[in-house]
Amino acid sequence: MGTGRYKKISRIYVIVIVLLVVMAIVITAIQGTTRGIVRFSPVENMMFDGIFLVLLTMGAVIVGSILGGYLLAPLFLFAQKNTVGRKMVYGIQESSRPEMFKKAYMKSFFPALLALNFSLMVSDNVALQELLLEPGSSGSAMASIMLISALFPLMGAIGMGMFSPVWFLQDAGIVYSNKEKVKGTSEPTEIRSVGGWYLYILKGYAGIAVIVSFYTFLSEIINAGETDNVLFLIMWPIMPFMLAFLYIPGIIALDMTYEKRKQFTIKAAEKLGITQKVEPLTF
C-alpha cells in the first residue's frame, strides 16, 4: 500500500492503527490487565485482543479476495453459462484499470454486510463460543457479541471471497447477450456483464439478509437486558461501516493484481468457448 496510487488510504490506515495501539495502552494503564476476548490471541488482554482481531481481519480479507477470486471466478462463469446463459451469446469486452484508485469503501461495503450477516447467523452457537472465546464467556448475550468479533477475520475472508469472483469477471470484461434468444421476436437485444449479474444477486441478498439478522439479534440483546452497555450502544449501529473500512486492503490487493487477474479470467473463459472479442456497446 506504499505506492503513490494508495498514498492517501495508506496514511489513513497508519493513523487508525496508531490510534488503536495508543488507546489500548492508555486504557490498559488505567484499568489494568483485563480478561481477553478470544482463545487464539497471543496476549490475554481485551484491548489488545481487539487490535489483534482488527489486524487479523485486514490480513484475512486480502487472502479471501485473492484466493476466492481465483477459485470461484471460473466456477461462477461456468454455472451462469450453463444455467441462465444456455441460450445466450458470450464475449470478451476490452477493459483497463481505472487511472485513479477510488470508490474502494463503497466496493467493500456489501462484502462487509454479507460477512456481518454470516456472523449474526451463528452468534448464539454455544459450541463456537466455547471453542473461540475465553473460558466462562459462553451462553450469554454478551458472549454472542464477543463471538461476532471473534469471527470477523474468518467471515471477512468469506465475504470478500464471495464478491471477488464478481470483480474478476467484471475486470476481465466477460459479457453475454440475448441476441440469439430474441431473434425473430420484438424483444430488444441486451448486453450484460456476467459479473454484474452476480453482483445484483449478492448485493440483494447481503442487504436484505443482514437487516433480518440484525433485527433478530438486536431483539435478543434487548430482551436479555444488555443495552445498558455503553460500548455496545455506540459501536453496534456503526459496525457495518467499520467493517467496510477494514476490508479496503482486500480491494487494494485486487487493484494491485488487476492485469494478472484479468488474464487468468480471460483464459478461464476461453476454456469454456468464450473467445469472441466485443466492442463496447456492440456485439
What pLDDT is attached to residue 152? Answer: 92
What pLDDT is attached to residue 196? Answer: 93
**Distance between alpha carbon 29 and the CA centroid of its chain, in Å?**
35
Give 38's contacts (C-beta < 8 A, 6+ positions apart).
49, 52, 53, 132, 133, 134, 146, 149, 150
- The mean pLDDT values, 10 residues at a time, for the chain of 283 residues are 72 81 70 71 78 90 96 97 90 87 88 92 89 76 84 95 96 89 73 93 90 78 61 70 90 94 96 87 51
- Residue ranges of the domains in the chain? 53-278
What pLDDT is attached to residue 28? Answer: 64
Give 219's contacts (C-beta < 8 A, 6+ positions apart).
none
pTM to 2 decimals? Answer: 0.86
